[in-house]
Each structure stands twice: as C-alpha cells, then as structure tokens.
A and B are shown apart, each in its own frame.
Chain A
Amino acid sequence: MKIFPLGDSALLVNFEQSISPEINRKVTQLQKQIAAAYFPEIEFMIPAFCSLTIGYSKSKTTFSKLKKRVLALKVQQANSEKENPILHKIPVCYAPTYSIDIQEVTNQTNLSKEEIIELHTSQIFQVYMMGFLPGFAYLGSVPKQLFTKRKDIPRKRVEKGSVGLAGLQTGIYPMESPGGWQIIGRTPVEVFDVKKEQPFYFKTGDQVQFYPVSKKEFDNYKK
C-alpha cells in the first residue's frame, strides 16, 4: 500500500496496480473500515480498481496526519470479517436490434454469438469502479477469450441500457451518451434514475451476473 498526496486536500492509497477481484476487494474493505471508524476530517472517498482516493478537510487535518491514521487501520484489516457482497442478477436481451456490435465482436474474438452470450452470462462480475457517467459500473473481469477492443471511432449516441464490452470489462450505459464500447445487448433495468433519492443501482464491490432474456421478456419487463 502506497500513499500519495492528490493535491492539498486528498490522499491517494494505491494497492498493487493490477485489475483483480481480490485487489479491488481490498479497496472496498479499506473504504468500509474508514466509514465505520471515526474520521470527521474525511469529506469523500473514490474507490477505483486498485486505489482509494480520500478527500479531507484542510482545516481539520494534514496529509501526514491522515496518512498515519489510514496506515494504522491497515493493521486491523487482517481481522476484518468476511465480506458478503450483494449479487445483482441483470436480464440482458441479446436480440439483433440490441446487439448492434455482435458482428465486430465475433470478428475480433472468433467466437459465435452463442459462445459470446454463454461467456457473458456464465460469470459473476465485480463492480470494480463507478465512473464515466453517473451510475456507470465498470464490471470485470471478462473471460480472456472475450477480450474486445473499443470502437475506433466512438458512437455519437449509445442508447440507455446498452450493454457493452471494452477490453476485459463490461458495463451498462445508464443513460444515452456518446461511447466507444462494443454493444452486445440491452437491459431493461434502470441502473440510474435521476428522480430517485438514491439514484444508483450499483456500488463498487457489488457483484453482477447477467442472464439472457428474449425480446418479449425485455418488453414485458417494464411494468
């Protein structure tokens, strides 16, 4: 664990810099430990794949003081109880109207559409990080056979609910937006709803598994 300043009111805790469920779990564990302890000087945290950014109030602490307090927590980490992450089961319709980049993914991976769907739905993914768009969850890791490069020229408009692949990641567009991920399906689940008091469906550390639904089931999902 390495700690750096990120300006004069935040510190960055870097874990081993690689993408894995175990390292990401360390990030969310540290975040939970901090949230459970008394840290009135902390104003916000940004958990990412293998780092935790911690924002603090300059009037209440300094970089070196907070660094010491965070390092002191690390010692207790071994004793922390086992995690029980939430598992979200998310329906995805892979029908041709929604799987608009399936041909490109087939070309890149040499997998059939059925194999792509099988690989995409047989794994439990972890929310490694929230970002890019409000409510957008970076999910991983996708099996290596499904590694897909982003589109060379990003689409100007990706529809809300679109499910995409990029590298070893997969994700759901929470709203209509420009984007470069390869779109292989669409979910009827609203992963971000601006009108709700808690607009977000996912948080970092949650688990997600997709399951295939027909176009009819997709249409009926919205009560």
Chain B
Amino acid sequence: MSNLVKFQIVKSPFSVTIQDAGRFGFLEQGIPISGAMDLKSATIANQLVEKPDDNPVLEITLSGTEISISGKCQIAITGANLSPRLNNKPISTWQTISIKKPSIISFGKAVSGSRAYLAFNGTFNLKPWLGSFSAFGNLTPALVLKNGDSIEGLPSTSVSKKIYPEKYRSTFHNSQKIKVWKGPEFDNFSKKQIDHFLKTDFKIAPNSNRMGYNLTKGFKNYKQKNELISSGVLPGTIQVTNSGHLAILMRDAQTTGGYPRIAHVLGDDINKLAQMKAGDEIFFEIVSL
C-alpha cells in the first residue's frame, strides 16, 4: 500500500502556486526568478518540517482557500495570518503540525499579511522546470493549482515538533516604511521629484500582483529626460514609467526594462512588501550603502 498523501484544492479564489527559492539559471534568457513572494516565511515553514530552505512550498493568497489532505503527514504554515483552521478548528501557525487523518485546511479572514506558506515534511511528486519548482505562468501548468487540482507527496520520517519563537516572527502591517538604495538612474530625477518620492505616502494600486506593484500618487507632469536603452531589472526595482507612475517589480518580474530605476528595495523589505495588498500604504526611506 502506498502511503502517498494527496493535497487537493477544494476551492481557491486565487490559484495556489508551488514556489521555491527561485529560478536563477535563466535570467539571461528572459526567465523571471519567481519563487515565494515572502521568501523568509517560506524558508521558516521548511525549517519547521526540517526541509532545505529552497524546498517547494504552497503559496496561499488571501482568504477563501480550502485544501484537503488525504492522510497522515506533517506540515507547517507560516506567513500571513489567514485564520487557518484544521477540520474547522483554529490551528496554530509557525509550528510543526501533525495531520493524523484525512483533513481539510481552510483559510478564512486575512487578519494580517496576504500570503501564507504551507510546507510539507515529504517530497512532492513534481518535476522541476529549468531547475526550479516555482510556478511561472502558463509554462508550468503543473505548478499552478486551481480548484479541483491536486498534487501528491511522499511523507518523510516524522520530525519532532518545533515552534518558531514568537519574538522572531515577521509581523505584517498595512502601513510600512520600505528601505531602498538609490537606483542607477536616481540622479536623472530632480530635487522636487526626489522630495516627492521620499515624502509621499504611496498606496498600492489594485492592479498589483506577483509581477509588480503599481503605486498611486506618481509624479505629476512627468517628462522623461531621454529614452533609456533596456537593461536588467530585478525584484525590488522601482521604475518610473513614461506617465510618471511608480511601480515596484516583484518576484515574477520581467528581467529587462527600459524605464529609469529610481531606487531599489532591499532584500528583507521585499518580503515585507510581499505581505502587503492593494490599498496598503508605503513610505520610502533611502539607506546608505
């Protein structure tokens, strides 16, 4: 008898995606890095089930997802507090959870943050694409789980229960300061524009996703000095479009772009941004190298 465990998406208003630490080998071919939006939370989820930091995990976005688990195994849930319940009883996150029988994990209200991570103490029956298990649009259909889709995994030997200390857990806020370094084209902007950049409470616009966050309150009457020649961009790059809008590129961002890069979000703060959603507020702070 096989002791494979099946994870099935009973329902999910947004797709559940498989993500690892990212796909790094093919940026020069135009393939985005992808990977868990909040890498830090995904890493901790893996540590709680004693798996390597870059093991694939499930990324669950906002409320309303239900996942059935067919049998005995261990999991851990970290990241956003999406009010998770196990068979309709609240369960604790940031710790190893033992599933003892066929169960349903359901995610309710998004109390804080917007992306939760579910790590599995086992090996999912999945094939990597170009060396990574991270979902990338239509090219990796097996890594994007929609209503009714399922994946199987072979559980590993049980590990002892671990709890990630509360004082070290990330906390998520609707209004945050985001640390940046100056971008390569920072000096293309006027003093007035830089003042606006540093003194505005930008809001994340509704048309924001894993590729990038658009911000409200861009530069008024913006005219770009001269056309730039396309060059590398990365998660965290803040671009100013020709209409003066600011956009922060996120994990699924394209690899090159032609807009001036005013600033770049520091690595740890990309994880913070990953947990924010449309309507949330951010302020930029330039830190020195």
Residues of A within 8 A of B (CB): 4-10, 12, 14, 17-19, 31, 43-53, 55, 58, 63-64, 129-136, 138, 194, 199-200, 203-204
Contact = CB atoms under 8 A, between A and B. Distances in A.
A121 B265 CA distance: 44
A48 B266 contact: no
B229 A18 contact: yes
Contacts of A50: 229, 231
Given A63-B289, A204-B28, 15 more contacts: A6-B184, A7-B234, A7-B236, A7-B237, A8-B267, A9-B267, A17-B228, A19-B229, A46-B232, A46-B255, A50-B229, A130-B28, A131-B230, A132-B254, A135-B29
Most buried by B among A18, A43, A44: A44
A4 B184 contact: yes
A12 B236 CA distance: 14
B284 to A, nearest CB: 13
Contacts of A49: 229-231
Contact of B254 (A8, A10, A131, A138): A131
A46 B139 contact: no
B24 A46 contact: no
B256 interface: yes
Given A18-B229, A49-B229, A131-B255, A7 B24 contact: no
Contacts of A203: 28-29
Contacts of B254: 131-132
B49 to A, nearest CB: 23
Q: Is the interface of B mostly helix, strand, loop or mixed?
A: loop
Contact of A58 (B24, B27, B234, B267): B267
B181 interface: yes
A204 B232 CA distance: 13
Contacts of A135: 29-30
A129 B181 contact: no
Nearest to A19: B229
Size bracket of the B interface: 20 to 34
Contacts of B40: none
Nearest to A54: B232
Given A14-B184, A200-B29, A203-B29, A53 B234 contact: yes
A55 B256 CA distance: 14
B30 A6 contact: no
A136 B266 contact: no
Nearest to A192: B29
B264 interface: yes
Contacts of A17: 228-229
Contact of A7 (B30, B256, B265): B265
B261 interface: yes
B25 A44 contact: yes
A6 B28 contact: no
A130 B232 contact: no
Contacts of A199: 130
